[in-house]
Amino acid sequence: MKFLGRFTKAIGVALIVIFCALSILLSFVARDVTDYEAQQLVSYASSLENKFYDYRVMKITEMDPEKKNKDIILIKVDDESLQKLNSWPIPRENWVKLLDNLKAFGAKVAAFDVFFPEPSRACSEESPDDMFANAIENFQSIEGNRVIMAYTTQSHKQNDVFNEVPEDLFSFMLDSQQAGEAGLEQRYVEQNTYPIKKLLAPAPDMAYINMLEDSDGVFRHYQMVANIDMLYFPSLGLRAYEVLTQDATKLEVNNQGTGQLNVGEHKIFVNNRGESKIRWFGNEYMFENISLHEVIYADPNDEKLKNLFNGKIAFIGSTATGAHDFRNSPIDAKMPGVLAHMNVLHMLMNQHFYAPLDQSIIISLYMLGAGLLLLLIIMYFNIAIMDIAALVVIGASILWIDYQFYLPNGYELKLFFTLTALGMTYSWITFLNFNQASAEKKQIKGAFSRYVAPAIVNDMLEHPDKLKVGGEKRDITCLFSDVRDFTSISEQLTPVDLAWALNRYMGKMTDIVFETNGTLDKYIGDAIVAFWGAPLDIGDHVTQAVGAAVDMLEALPAVNAELKAKGLPEFKIGLGLNSGECSVGNMGSDQIFAYTALGDTMNLGARLESLCKHYGAQILISEFTHDKMEKNKFETRLIDRVRVKGKTEPVAVYEVLYSYHPLMVDQDSLAQFKLAYQRFIEKDFDNAIALFEMVQQAHPEDASTNRLVESCRHWIKNPPKEGEDHTITTMTTK
């Protein structure tokens, strides 16, 4: 049976590992799969992994204005600019003013994420297109200054594309090397976005601005290069990099139809569409930006704008709501499309690249294997709380390691299915363990749950070997509770009323024992015996036991109210608590036994309960309990040091106060009592009795105060002899 269970666990875990490992691998290659059916097969796994990675990227993406890129400027065609200019499309005269001012401000590159595919209409003698062309030529008259115009491509040869590569593009071909006939995916230049001839006369730079979203609608990739008739041309972000750095890039295409782009000393992978994954820097708040109308209407001598633009590149693109040029990116669900080109330029300029893909794959699989192995080792010990803690700690550790070391350094660890594997493995093994144990536990639970405390039943279910006679030494806190004058109460009631009253009282008190993790030892008539700290280790059993005693006193008025409503006598109770080592376990014969505790600790607890009558108290605890409990949770007062019958060593006895205790309500009298008792200990009987009498006057019913007043009077008349301890009371009866 055990072998079958282990075999089932092993098979299940193996299937989980295989499934999650394949999902991780597929999520890495999903974007590069060209077959449509295959892409649909892996797109779901890719989407889950990518969204989890996007979430982590978003969390670490810096949005600190102090760290923004001040070399790449965004000129926003925003709603405010459209309102100020009051025209759409924006008249060419405004673009003329823009370029003239950018030249005056010292801008180096003007990159348009704007199309100029149609001639403008005007009634003036000079064509606005000619004026714009002259502005482009004027801007580029300064050495190193360039204007970049945009166009688009598409993957299908339709009626609205050029049959051949436009001759204007030949000046911007990338240096490329192709290993075989399998080039990147063929693209075609669209006619309806291509700039008009007049604007190309000054020979501006040309770059396309296509982007394709992933299968889940998120833009993570950027088309760096386009294959147009087996010639390769740069995107806007790549061309801007080449213009700014004067560093020519080279494309190498392999036999598989993918390639790498050599940018300086770095090699960037491009898939069959010419795409690379963007390592995002930030949204528009991480770049210097300004509205279009502010530049157009600016004074050409504006020093502030000169400082902003001098020697830098300006991207002109739409951020207006009505233009619908927004992209769902990993760091912003509504990011203007122009920001993608700016992020790519930042990535290229700052060498902000992803780590090699093969390294990310290996580390991801290592994370999967190491996390599962560690979880399985811990689950081998079959400790439920340790299992769930291990699952949480291992999962949190994997994420922490990723956040600290891998994510900031560009590693694309696929952790969604790693964490899924951990969760599925934990769930599978836990389910099998539960299923295997449920049948064994059902019989035990049915037999014992009616007779012993739930804690004992659960302990027996976890440790069936304890179902035998025997005991163990445990540090516990015991509680003895008794109803005062129960004999006289029982004589007044019918058997039915007596049973109802006792059951109502016992039921409430027992509930409190169980709620505070206590173990019910036994009922002795109207008495309750319970203890804390066995059979289960519940931590601070002392504080929990004292808390239970206080809760019992707090619950008593409600019970008495029910008794009074039925015309029954009210109950008054006394409770005694003691802490220490006892022998606990199943005591009795092999056929009939009970779980109980034996020892001096229990005896002293019973004595303290009896002393409640003598001291007029309702909760008495020993010094052993007082010293171990959390004192800031309870109010107590030392009332005596007692040498109980049969013992030679005295024990300090404390009364625990509950909410409606007279001295709990009157804190001044409580403070006076404590000060008086300290004077009593110091043999300052005159001051002690004066203070005690003040308390006595306020609370004449307080038995402890009355007793100590009499003690002070006795010792004033009969001062303690040498060696005589006046603080000890010796009891001659139980």
Q: Inter-axis angle of helices 2-29 and 416-448, to 10 degrees?
A: 160
Q: What is the pLDDT of residue 13?
A: 80
* Local structure of 129: helix, strand or coil: helix
Q: What is the pLDDT of residue 5?
A: 55
Q: What is the pLDDT of residue 679?
A: 94
Q: How many Å apart are CA 447 and CA 189, to the nearest integer?
A: 82
Q: What is the pLDDT of residue 195?
A: 96
Which residues make Cβ contacts (< 8 Å) with residue 512, sequence separation at least 6? 548, 551, 552, 555
**DSSP output for 456-516:** HHHHHHH-GGG-SSEEEEEEEEEEEEEETTHHHHHHHS-HHHHHHHHHHHHHHHHHHHHHT
Q: What is the pLDDT of residue 45?
A: 60
Residue with tokens 């504080």: 543
**Helices and strands per DSSP (H, E), number in the chain:** 23, 27
Name the residue ranges covered by the structural domains of the chain.
2-57+355-435, 67-173+185-248+274-349, 459-657, 661-734
- Please give the structure tokens belonging to residue 89: 């499309």
Q: How many Å apart are CA 623 and CA 628, to the nearest integer?
A: 9
- Cβ-contact 129, 119 below 8 angstroms: yes
pLDDT, averaged per 10 consecutive residues of the chain (734 residues), comes to 59 80 71 51 68 84 80 95 88 95 97 94 80 96 96 89 93 90 90 95 96 87 94 96 93 91 91 92 92 96 96 96 84 93 96 89 91 90 89 94 92 89 88 72 56 62 59 90 89 90 92 89 90 86 96 95 92 95 80 79 93 93 95 94 86 95 94 94 93 94 93 92 87 72
- Please give the structure tokens belonging to residue 63: 């949005």
The candidate with the shortest Cα–Cα distance to 481, out of 436, 527, 530, 537, is 527
- Please give the structure tokens belonging to residue 221: 């990739």
Q: What is the pLDDT of residue 1?
A: 43
Q: What is the pLDDT of residue 18?
A: 84
In sequence order, the β-bridge partners of residue 576 are 480, 620
Domain at 459-657: CATH code: 3.30.70.1230
Q: How many Å apart are CA 89 and CA 620, to the nearest integer?
A: 90
Q: What is the pLDDT of residue 639?
A: 94
* Local structure of 130: helix, strand or coil: helix
